[in-house]
Amino acid sequence: MQEKWQQATQVIHAGHIPNEHGALVTPLCQSATFVFDNAEQGGARFAGEEPGFIYTRLGNPTTAELERKIAALEGSDCAAATASGMAAVSAALLANLQNGDHLIASNAVYGCTFALMNSQLAKFGIEVSLVDFSRLDEIEAAIKPNTKVLFCETPVNPHLKVFDLDAIARIAKAYKLVSVVDNTFMTPLLQQPIKHGIDIVIHSATKYLNGHGDVIAGVVCSSREQMDVIKYEVLKDIGGVISPHDAWLILRGLKTLDVRLQRHCDSAERVAEFLEGHSKVSKVYYPGLKTHCGNGLVGHQMKRAGGVIAFELEADLQASIKFINQLELFSIAVSLGDAESLIQHPASMTHSPYSPEEREKAGITDNLLRISIGLEAVEDIIFALDKGLAAL
């Protein structure tokens, strides 16, 4: 794939290798294992002396095309597709942490990422510190002799705070740390952390990359040196690899990623402006608004602000829940990037692993709602929100 081709072209063509039958669409190689011509060939492949497929947990032609495409879009050497977004997070962290190591992460991350760090990693003697990544002095103050990894999301799930990736990468390099960024909310079409010096980028491919709400998957992007550990040690042994059918579905979904994102972003910008001007909404979190503290990064680090919005109602917990239950058009669900507009209550849903004290420190209030703007007519989305707010 030529570098001069735009990402809108790459989502369709990058990584594709013509197949022997001339099929336009990438074939689905739904096979668990692969036959060797002879025993010597099998031994040579296991020894890494001959290219070729062995067993789908170690690699598959359909999965390999997805990995090549995502790596091209992110600007990384390699990518590894995983069984879920959490498998991607786990693989990236376990490849770089061991007993006695220290991880520094943003104090607001996806709830299951938070649980992995504070419940699972602790079992293996890995220490975790949570700080505000918008405060670079807090990051540096938390660094210890045993610190190995910096981890954050940007924009942050759920309240859309954004962090300066250039600054985070500089800190990581100065202290010889591995930097890991969850780029799920942006996708590589809106933000490419590796181009800002980040070492590892992860995605929940369940979301925008697939775009149709019918796949659970993840992806890790990194250098070839990192990928040798992530893919051929951690993922191989733990087994959190993607199925070929899911890889095939994501390849299909990626073909429309550029046009879908344009619609998501266009609509989200209008919805955010509507919410910001509504008397029943106390605060709107959306980087595309000039009132957002990270708006200056839009156009530099982020091409656009994405399709997810968080906002706080002028209401208590009970009224906020009632608003969700009565809202038309929106489905109550805990994902994003689908054709359907979705709404959820982070404090009781995606971020329920946090204690009330931890949620307060992370800025996740009881009246905070998160919406994923779908592909419906934006006038209908705004009408539904206006009607729901009027009933508060």
Q: Which two tokens stand for residue 158?
A: 């759920």
Give how many domains the chain has, as a whole number: 2
Alpha-carbon distances of 107 from 110, 129, 357, rounded to whole Å: 10, 8, 12
CATH number of the domain within which 188 lies:
3.40.640.10
Of the candidates 204, 236, 254, which is a domain's last residue?
254
- In angstroms, the first-to-last Cα distance of the chain is 53
Please report the pLDDT score of residue 344 as a whole number. 97
Q: Is 216 found in the same domain as 308? A: no
C-alpha atoms less than 13 angstroms from C-alpha of 156 in its C-beta half-sphere: 26
Stretch among 53-62, 218-227, 355-364 having the lowest mean pLDDT: 355-364
Please report the pLDDT score of residue 294 as a whole number. 92
Q: Is 246 found in the same domain as 134? A: yes
Q: Is 241 found in the same domain as 264? A: no
Q: Catalytic annotation on 57?
A: yes
Taking only the tens place, the pLDDT of each residue in 101-159 is 999 999 999 999 999 999 999 999 999 999 999 999 999 999 999 999 999 999 999 99
What is the C-alpha separation between 54 and 165, in angstroms, rounded? 38
**Domain span at residue 295?**
258-390
Q: Is 155 found in the same domain as 96? A: yes
Cα 339 to the chain's mean position, in Å? Answer: 17
Question: What whole-number percentage of the chain has pLDDT above 90?
Answer: 94
User: Model pTM?
Assistant: 0.95
pLDDT at 207 over 90: yes
pLDDT at 213 over 50: yes
Taking only the tens place, the pLDDT of each residue in 298-329 is 999 999 999 999 999 999 999 999 999 999 99
pLDDT at 57 over 90: yes
Q: Is 198 found in the same domain as 295? A: no
Q: Is 290 found in the same domain as 220? A: no
Band of residue 1 on the pLDDT scale cut at 50, 70, 90: very low
Q: With respect to residue 106, please indicate whether it lies within any of the assigned structural domains.
A: yes
Q: Which two tokens stand for residue 211?
A: 């775009």
Q: Is 286 found in the same domain as 248? A: no
DSSP H or E stretch at residue 392? none
Q: Is 243 found in the same domain as 145? A: yes
Residue from 45, 101, 110, 164 carrying the catalytic annotation: 110
Taking only the tens place, the pLDDT of each residue in 166-199 is 999 999 999 999 999 999 999 999 999 999 999 9
Of the candidates 211, 233, 254, which is a domain's last residue?
254
Residue type (1 letter), 166: D
Q: Is 282 found in the same domain as 240? A: no
Please report the pLDDT score of residue 239 as a whole number. 94
Q: With respect to residue 1, please indicate whether it lies within any of the assigned structural domains.
A: no
Q: With respect to residue 2, please indicate whether it lies within any of the assigned structural domains.
A: no
Residue type (1 letter), 126: I
- Which residue would you say has higher pLDDT here, 19 or 112? 112
Q: What is the mean pLDDT of residues 201-229?
A: 97
Q: Catalytic annotation on 260?
A: no
Q: Catalytic annotation on 182?
A: yes
Q: With respect to residue 270, please indicate whether it lies within any of the assigned structural domains.
A: yes
What is the C-alpha separation between 1 and 10, in angstroms, rounded? 8
Q: Is 107 found in the same domain as 79? A: yes
Q: Is 277 found in the same domain as 230? A: no
| Mean pLDDT score of the chain | 96
Q: With respect to residue 163, please indicate whether it lies within any of the assigned structural domains.
A: yes
Q: With respect to residue 210, please indicate whether it lies within any of the assigned structural domains.
A: yes
Residue from 55, 57, 77, 266 carrying the catalytic annotation: 57
Taking only the tens place, the pLDDT of each residue in 254-303 is 999 999 999 999 999 999 999 999 999 999 999 999 999 999 999 999 99
What is the C-alpha separation between 123 and 114, in angstroms, rounded? 14
What is the C-alpha separation between 202 and 184, in angstroms, rounded? 7
Please report the pLDDT score of residue 3 as a whole number. 56
CB contact at 8 A, 247 and 66: yes
CB contact at 8 A, 17 and 29: no
pLDDT at 2 over 80: no
Q: Which residues pair with 70 in a beta bridge?
A: none
Q: Is 272 found in the same domain as 158? A: no
CATH number of the domain within which 385 lies:
3.90.1150.10
Residue from 164, 182, 246, 366 carrying the catalytic annotation: 182
Residue from 45, 148, 161, 207 carrying the catalytic annotation: 207
Of the candidates 193, 221, 254, which is a domain's last residue?
254
Please report the pLDDT score of residue 17 as a whole number. 87
Residue 329 gets which letter from DSSP?
Answer: S
Nearest alpha carbon to residue 205 among 190, 233, 228, 185: 185
